[in-house]
Amino acid sequence: MSQGSRYAAVPYEHGASKRPCPQPRAASEAELFAMSLTVVGSIAFDSVRTPFGERERMLGGTSVHFSLAARFFTEVRPVGPVGEDFGDAEIDVLASRGVVVDDIERVPGGRSFFWRGRYEYDLNVAHTEDTQLGVFGEFEPKLSDASRAADVLFLANIQPDLQRQVRSQCPQARFYALDSMNLWIATARDSLLAAISEVDCVIINDAEIRQLTGESNLARAARTVMEMGPRAVVAKQGEYGAALFTDGGFFALPGFPLEDVRDPTGAGDSFAGGFLGYIDSHEGEIDDLCLRRAMGYGTVLASFNVEAFGTERVASLTREEIDERFDQLREMTNFDILPASAR
């Protein structure tokens, strides 16, 4: 990887939003440097077919979907290789939106990660038809000092040995999270279990947490993962939402109700981007209250992702749209008991 060319830095435009997140504060320059999020995951071309259309070789990858969502909250640094087939136009989708692309490396003569998938009429059912690791097959992560200094690290879905190598280079983060999938559970289980033991939070599909633990009951499966080390587990449940398990309790949100869903690819990564982006922007303790708000932002970002193919919708999203949908989600999930006299 040492012969590859790195892309130039694009400064993060803090305060791109007119409306601050909950817990607004003015960040000093020193705080801004500390507030940054590093992610390793695939940077890819995706060919996707859903009942509502198809696209060939569109920009995708777990790290890309994640970064485009998380950039609304904090400075994001994706780490990983791309091939010669990855052009300036693809990099610009990230760089022009404030994602710091210094640690994306173009490998001469290499091919980018490629994934082909299709979805059934029930969009919760996905089939992988082809996965080509390309330049990720030879990838040996060497993070820049700025990426090592991240205070939140996301090990997005990618080969677990790579996740562990990146984890070992970021010793001072205050929160570590990881995602994975059926392929790695089946082919790299021991390495994945080791990676899980080194993070605070696992964010994973409900079917995959069952496959990982051999527990069909979701609460038991989450408990089993927490016994491996993490203090929080988020089980993603497609259009049905996501559930949060912690030592302190349980919380769940439905998927945001949408009438038009085109392509679920990247929904889980957009969820993680909203979830961890919010956590990184939150200066206080990462307690259950913080995690619940993060669930709200994750749900909102995932809902925008599925409205169009690939990165199309999240790339054109505004902070105002995020905040409006966050408020709607809060209203639709809020309920109260009647006063005792009226019961």
Task: Name the residue type at position 28.
Answer: S
> Which residues are 250's β-sheet partners?
245
d(CA 170, CA 147): 8
Binding part of the chain for ligand AMP, among 30-38, 55-63, 101-109, 168-176 by CB under 6 A, reads 55-63
Extract the tokens encoding 2. 């040492």
Q: Which is nearer to ligand AMP, 35 or 201 (CB)?
A: 201
> Which residues are 292's β-sheet partners?
none
* Cβ count near 115 (within 10 Å): 20
Q: How far is the CB of 31 from ligand AMP (least distance, A)?
A: 30
Binding part of the chain for ligand AMP, among 56-64, 97-105, 143-151, 253-261 by CB under 6 A, reads 56-64
Q: Which is nearer to ligand AMP, 35 or 212 (CB)?
A: 212
Determine, following the binding rule CB under 6 A, whether residue 209 of this chain makes contact with ligand AMP: no
Binders in 158-187 for ligand AMP, by CB under 6 A: 158, 181, 183
Determine, following the binding rule CB under 6 A, whether residue 75 of this chain makes contact with ligand AMP: no
> Strands 53-60 and 44-50, how do they pair?
antiparallel
Q: Which is nearer to ligand AMP, 62 or 74 (CB)?
A: 62
Determine, following the binding rule CB under 6 A, whether residue 267 of this chain makes contact with ligand AMP: yes
Determine, following the binding rule CB under 6 A, whether residue 61 of this chain makes contact with ligand AMP: yes
Q: Is 80 left (phi over 0), alpha (psi -120 to 50) or beta?
A: left
The mark string for 220-259 relative to ligand AMP (x by CB under 6 A, - otherwise) is ----------------------------------------
Q: 238, 235, 279: which is closest to 256 by C-alpha? A: 238
Q: Which is nearer to ligand AMP, 42 or 165 (CB)?
A: 42
Determine, following the binding rule CB under 6 A, whether residue 309 of this chain makes contact with ligand AMP: no
Report whether 258 contacts 303 (CB < 8 A).
yes
Binders in 100-159 for ligand AMP, by CB under 6 A: 115, 131, 157-158
Alpha helices in the chain (DSSP H): 29-34, 62-70, 88-95, 145-148, 160-168, 182-187, 189-196, 206-213, 218-227, 267-281, 288-305, 312-315, 319-332
Determine, following the binding rule CB under 6 A, whether residue 60 of this chain makes contact with ligand AMP: yes
CA dihedral 286, 287, 292, 296 (to 10 degrees): -10
Binding residues (CB under 6 A) for ligand AMP: these are 42, 44, 46, 60-62, 65, 115, 131, 157-158, 181, 183, 265-269
